[in-house]
Each structure stands twice: as C-alpha cells, then as structure tokens.
Amino acid sequence: MKIVAVEAIPFAIPYAKPLRFASGEVRTADHVLIRVRTDDGLTGTAEAPPRPYTYGETQESIVAVIDKIFAPQLLGLTALERETVHARLNRTVGNPTAKAAIDLALWDILGQATGAPVCGLLGGWTDRMRVSHMVGFAPADEMVAEAERVRDTYGITTFKVKVGRQPYGEDVAACRALREALGPGVELYVDGNRGWSASEAARALSEMADLGLLFAEELCPADDVLGRRRLVAGSPVPFIADESATRPAEVTRELLGGSATAISIKTARTGFTGSQRVLYGCEGLGVEVVMGNQIDGQIGTLCSVAFGAAHRASSRYAGELSNFLDMTDDLLTEPLTIESGTLRVREGAGLGIDIDPDKLARYRQDR
C-alpha cells in the first residue's frame, strides 16, 4: 500500500441548471479528480471541488498544490500512515478540498485492500441516507416549482432554501411560498451563506417564526461573532455553522463561543479523517450535525453518503446529497440514483467509485 503516485486531473462538466446563492454561483463543475496509486496496483479515487468564495481554492490552485507540494511529500508513505500524511499536508495552511480529497482516496485504498466498504470501516451504521435538496435563488414561483418537481420525481421531502438576498423580504416570501405549497409534512431550513447582517437575519427569522424551520445556517458573516451569538441566543431554531467552522478547531470555537448550535460536516473539506474528528467532538458535546454538500458531483456525493450512513449521529437528519442532479453528466460508469427520497451507499470494497474512461477523456481539461 505504498503511495507511488498522486494525480490531480482537472475536468469540467456543465450544469444544466446553475445553483445561485449569496456568496456565489456554480455553472460548471470545474472539479479535480484525485487518484492515489499504490505499489500493489490499487487506485484510490476522490474529487476536489474548488469553492473560491468559501476557501480561496481554484481548479488551478488545487492541481498546483497537489503536483508541487503534496504529491512529493506523500510518495513512499503507505495508506496506513494517515497521521503522517496529515502532518505533512498540514505543513501547508489552507487548501482544504485538496487535502480532503487525498484523505478520501486513502480510505478508498484501505477499503479495497481489506475487501471492505469504506462505510463499514468508518462505522457501518446503515446503508442509506435520506436526501435533502438545495433550492437556489430564483423567483419564488420557480423555487416552488423546482421543489415540487424534486419531491415528485425523487421523493425528497427535505429542502434547504438559499437565503441571504437583499432586501431579505424576497427570501422570506420564497420560504413562505414553499411552506404553503409543500405543506407541513416537508422539512424546510435556510442557508444564508453570510449574506445578511445579524439584524437583518434577526428580522427575517422573526418574520419566518411560523414556518417551522428545521435549522438556520450561516445567515451572517463569520466575523460578526457577537451578532451571531445574539441570534443564536434569541432563536429557537438551531443554528448550523458551515463556512465559520471548516476545521475541528473552528468547530470547537464556534460551539464554545455560543455562535452555533449545530454543525455542517462536509467530507469534501475534512475528508473522512477530519470529519470523524468533527463528528466525535460534536457527539461528545451533545451537538447535532448535518451532512452538508460542497456542491459535489457524484464522486463527492458517494463519499458524503458513505460517511453519513456510517454513523448514527450523521445519518439522523437528511443529508445534502442531490446537487449532482443538476449536472449534465458525470464521470461514474454507473450513475447514482435517488429513489423514495433516499440515496444508498455503494456496495463492494472501498468507495465503489468506478470512473468511465470515455467520460474522463471527454471532460478532462489537461489534454
């Protein structure tokens, strides 16, 4: 299991329907396919999605940091030396999705080498998760039509509504329209991607007090610490930290500082190893988690569901596992399917990621 190569292959697949939110928008999945190869012929696979508005990474920066810094540091280590791998990766600050993808690929190798599914190695709690769908910015009637289509087509009954527009009344009206159209049985929560000030968020939440929101996520800037504490203290809705808590230490700070009451876990930014650190910390503190989405493609989504389903605490709420539905294509030989509002973990050894060589040839950007 000695690492002999770490490949970073940029690829680009357009979205059929762009996702818009307060901090940015995604029109093309310009991700990086990571392949870690070992001397015994195994290949661990993962994808890194650049999110410049969240982490400062770009497709080019992910390829560069892997080719120039990470790959040379990892050659010769084995997939069983993850602590050493992370110690070396963490000599470089930032670059969370590049680091996470390497970690995910190493777990894929461990699974293949032992003949076990990664979900089982991580905890093996269940084999599926309920799916939550993200509804991006659009006029309220289009947001309602999308949610109804997704509910009717895939059986999904949990929706995360993007908010954070100015003025906030447009978002409040959209959430109200969604609740009225979808009825009381559907779970609704909101994600502001830091778009509102704390006082705008307080006013918006009070106007939505009758909508039965499940969570409120990252409504105002991460630096507005006192504003966020005030919001958390004054709201009955649990507050999920996403961009403000991207590492285990930030999770601790947010929770102990009283500016969050729940945590979004994204395997795209903390891999499996860091995500377990976050999850176990939250469990120890009695804090709930939600499996978030870094607007992953199908490879990243397989990683999220493998982790989410592996633990009791991470499978409790619906996981954000449906962003890939808006892509025009993907790289997997066998595409993912969501049925009855549920996504299953892939069976077999490792993560079950099988890349279609023709699709990779069509979408890769480096040839």
Nearer to ligand MUC, 123 or 248 (CB): 248
Nearer to Mg ion, 217 or 224 (CB): 217
Contacts for 193 with CB less than 8 Å, ≥ 6 apart:
21, 22, 23, 24, 162, 164, 218, 242, 243
152 carries an active-site annotation = no
Instruction: Rule CB under 5 A: choose which of 242, 254, 296, 320 binds Mg ion.
Output: 242
Distances (CA, A) of 314 to 111, 289, 347: 20, 6, 19
Taking a C-beta distance cutoff of 8 angstroms, is the pair 38, 109 a contact?
Answer: yes
Contacting Mg ion within 211-230 (CB under 5 A): 217
Element (H, E) at 82: helix 82-89
Minimum separation from the CB atom of position 136 to ligand MUC (A) = 9
**Chain residue at closest Cβ approach to Mg ion:** 242
Taking a C-beta distance cutoff of 8 angstroms, is the pair 35, 9 a contact?
Answer: yes
Give the largest Cα separation in the chain, rounded. Answer: 60
Nearer to Mg ion, 103 or 191 (CB): 191
266 carries an active-site annotation = yes
Q: Stretches 62-70, 187-195, 252-260, 318-326: which one binds Mg ion (CB under 5 A)?
A: 187-195
Q: Stretches 137-145, 161-169, 234-242, 271-279: which one binds Mg ion (CB under 5 A)?
A: 234-242
Candidate list 7, 146, 191, 320, residue with the active-site label? 191
Instruction: Could you list the beta-strand ranges (E) of 173-276.
Output: 187-191, 216-217, 239-241, 262-265
Nearer to ligand MUC, 21 or 154 (CB): 21
Candidate list 59, 112, 294, 298, residue with the active-site label? 294
Contacting Mg ion within 140-179 (CB under 5 A): none
60 carries an active-site annotation = no
Nearest to 320 by CA among 267, 241, 260, 262: 267
Candidate list 187, 242, 243, 326, residue with the active-site label? 242
Nearer to ligand MUC, 200 or 242 (CB): 242
Distances (CA, A) of 86 to 51, 180, 303, 351: 21, 48, 19, 20
Whole-angstrom Cα distance, residue 65 to residue 69?
A: 5
Q: Which does 330 bind (CB under 5 to 8 A by kind): Mg ion, ligand MUC, none?
A: none
Minimum separation from the CB atom of position 261 to Mg ion (A) = 15
Q: Does 296 bind Mg ion (CB under 5 A)?
A: no
Instruction: Give the footprint of ligand MUC on this chain (CB under 6 A).
Output: 21, 23, 51, 54, 191, 193, 242-243, 292-295
Nearest to 79 by CA among 356, 350, 338: 350
**Total residues at interface with Mg ion (CB under 5 A):** 3
Nearer to Mg ion, 108 or 171 (CB): 171
Candidate list 217, 218, 224, 243, residue with the active-site label? 217
Minimum separation from the CB atom of position 301 to Mg ion (A) = 16
162 carries an active-site annotation = yes
Nearest to 102 by CA among 352, 249, 269: 269
**In 3-state terms, what secondary structure has residue 323?**
helix
Whole-angstrom Cα distance, residue 311 to residue 307?
A: 7
Candidate list 162, 224, 296, 330, residue with the active-site label? 162
Distances (CA, A) of 53 to 12, 57, 81, 194: 18, 8, 32, 11
DSSP 238: P
Q: Does 191 bind Mg ion (CB under 5 A)?
A: yes
| Interaction site with Mg ion (CB under 5 A) | 191, 217, 242
Catalytic center residues: 162, 191, 217, 242, 266, 294
